[in-house]
Amino acid sequence: MKRLAVFASGSGSNFEAVMRALQEGRLTGAQVALLVCDKPGAYVLERAERFGVPVLLFDPKTYPDKAAYETEIVGRLQALGVELIVLAGYMRLVGPVLLHHYEGRIINLHPSLLPAFPGKDAIGQALAYGVKVTGVTVHFVDAGMDTGPIIAQHPVRVEPADTAETLAARIHEVEHRLLVQVIQALVDQRVAMDGRLVTITEP
Q: How many domains does the chain have?
A: 1
User: For residue 9, what pLDDT is reported?
Assistant: 95
User: For residue 106, what pLDDT is reported?
Assistant: 98
User: For residue 8, what pLDDT is reported?
Assistant: 97
Record the pTM: 0.95
User: Around 92, how many Cα atoms within 13 Å sit in the side-chain half-sphere?
Assistant: 21
Q: How far is 166 from 150, CA to CA, in rounded Å?
A: 26
Cα–Cα distance list, 90 to 39, 76, 130, 159, 196 (Å): 10, 17, 26, 27, 23
Q: How many residues comprise the chain?
A: 203
Instruction: List the chain residues with pLDDT less than 50.
Output: none
Name the residue range of residue 59's domain.
2-200
Hey, which residues are catalytic here? Answer: 110
**CATH number, residue 116:** 3.40.50.170
For the segment 103-131, what is each residue's pLDDT rounded down to a tens digit?
999 999 999 999 999 999 999 999 999 99
Element (H, E) at 84: strand 84-87
Residue closest to 175 by CA, chosen among 16, 23, 34: 16
User: For residue 124, what pLDDT is reported?
Assistant: 97
